[in-house]
Amino acid sequence: MKSHFPLPLTLFLIVVIGCGKAEQERREAAKKNLEEIGKALEQHSAKEREATVSLAIFEKRILPIFQSAKPSSCSECHLSGVDLKEYIRPTQQQTFVSLVGAGMIDTENPDESKILRFISRSPDKPNLVTDKVRKEEYDAFQAWIRAAVADPKLLASKSEAAPIGPQIPDEVIRHARRDRVLASFIDNIWTEVGRCAACHSPDRNQKQVKEHGKQVSWISLNDPRATLSYMVENDLIDANKPAESLLLMKPTLQVEHEGGQKMVVGDRTYKQFRRFIDDYAGIVQGKYKQANQLPSQSGEVSVVTEIWFKIEGVPAKYDKMLLQADLYRQTDSGWSEFRVASSDRLVFGPKNLWQHSLSLTAPRGSKWAKEIESKRLPPGRYLVKLYIDQVGKLQKDYATKLGDDDFVGQVEFESRWPAGYGRMTVVKFPE
């Protein structure tokens, strides 16, 4: 039978079909090969890319945090001692190796890295400005850490891990936390500003504001945090020269004060103000490097009251000297072991007079410390011990305490301790 196709065409078809199979295999092999080469190539360039990506992120987003003059978001809670800058070194490699060494980067789960947890800590009351800074810092570190852990060169880096992060003990970091600083402010200053409220609290000083201007309202009503911020921002507290803070200079008449003398250098209120202001300055200046440099807390707490106490017949020779009156309460087992109230002020010689409002005092943490918050003194029998600074030793060293050398006498008496200037408890100066 004759072929339907002419011979040359048949031959051609045989060749094509036969070769077609081989060619297809070849092509497939080649394609596979190409794919593999491609994949390898792709992986290679991915690594290259990651490497450049992590470096680019480091240079564009991490280094600027390091170089910035502005404090990081950490400062919202840490007054000093801690800053994000301390977790950055000048090069990507040093930074990475040191952060890994310090356990701050988790190379397996980059998003779980401790440094990210530090950055994400935010206060209960959000602040739009710091929230924005915090988000930028977080995004930058997250992007960089993700890229960095994907970079085998960085992972394999043999450079030495250097210490990174704050190099001060946790006690010092704790002491410099803003919540601790505020607690100390409340303890030492806020509890005393009742003395200044008549002229400096916005609910009571319309007349002073009219005469002297808005700056007399330095108390923020019921808001110690805002009051502290105001004092710092308006230089009432001077962190560079703490002893020269207006808050100390004005009421002690070291500079002119329209309100007159409200404190004496070395009296209890002054000591408390200094305790806070000196410590605040120390924290801001980064003075504390070791736990044993931290100031100890006062062993006594106090509240200002409206209870007035007056001593008559004070010898005129004591004029303008600081008289300190410590009160002890009669208990079943004798006089109380600690003073339950105290007050100190200058003697007014011409009228043989000393008078002042009482502060209730108690050992910190004692049962009595809770009770004084009522600002009341139980009626009953009391002993007052009187001390007078006759040699001006407090002027020389404000931290000195009046003691046995300064003791001038004591009186026993009864009182119901009514509050108010018009209802003073009065005793006679001992003969």
Q: Which residues bind ligand HEC (CB under 6 A)?
A: 72-74, 76-78, 82, 84, 118-119, 121-123, 166, 170, 173, 195-196, 198-200, 208, 212, 215-216, 218, 234, 236, 246-247, 250-251, 256-259, 262-263
Question: Nearer to ligand HEC by C-beta: 157 or 208?
Answer: 208
Question: Nearer to ligand HEC by C-beta: 79 or 384?
Answer: 79
| Residue entry with tokens 């087992």 | 333
Question: Nearer to ligand HEC by C-beta: 47 or 204?
Answer: 204
Question: Nearer to ligand HEC by C-beta: 117 or 381?
Answer: 117
The CA R_g of the chain, rounded to the nearest whole Å, is 37
Question: Nearer to ligand HEC by C-beta: 56 or 77?
Answer: 77
Question: Nearer to ligand HEC by C-beta: 98 or 415?
Answer: 98
In angstroms, give the least distance from the CB of 395 to ligand HEC: 18
Question: Nearer to ligand HEC by C-beta: 96 or 382?
Answer: 96
In angstroms, give the least distance from the CB of 208 to ligand HEC: 5
Q: Are strands 341-346 and 334-335 parallel, antiparallel or unpaired?
A: unpaired
Token representation of residue 3: 């072929």
Question: Nearest residue by C-beta to ligand HEC?
Answer: 259
Q: How far apart are CA 136 and CA 56, in angstroms?
A: 16
Closest C-alpha among 25, 27, 81 to residue 283: 81
In angstroms, give the least distance from the CB of 46 to ligand HEC: 31
In angstroms, give the least distance from the CB of 122 to ligand HEC: 5
DSSP single-letter state for residue 160: P
| Side-chain-facing half-sphere of 13: CA atoms under 13 Å | 8
DSSP sequence for 212-280 = H-GGG--PPTT-HHHHHHHHHHTTSS-SSSGGG-HHHHTTTTSS--TT-----TTSHHHHHHHHHHHHH
In angstroms, give the least distance from the CB of 396 to ligand HEC: 22
In angstroms, give the least distance from the CB of 137 to ligand HEC: 7
In angstroms, give the least distance from the CB of 196 to ligand HEC: 3
Closest C-alpha among 169, 163, 179, 187 to residue 78: 179
In angstroms, give the least distance from the CB of 242 to ligand HEC: 14
Angle at 219 between CA 217 and CA 225, to 5 degrees: 140
Q: Are 138 and 113 in contact (CB under 8 A)?
A: no
Q: Which amino acid is at 12?
A: F
Q: For the chain, first and last CA: distance in Å? A: 156
Q: How far apart are CA 228 and CA 181, in angstroms?
A: 10
Question: Nearer to ligand HEC by C-beta: 47 or 177?
Answer: 177
Token representation of residue 355: 């008078």
In angstroms, give the least distance from the CB of 167 to ligand HEC: 11
Question: Nearer to ligand HEC by C-beta: 94 or 330?
Answer: 94
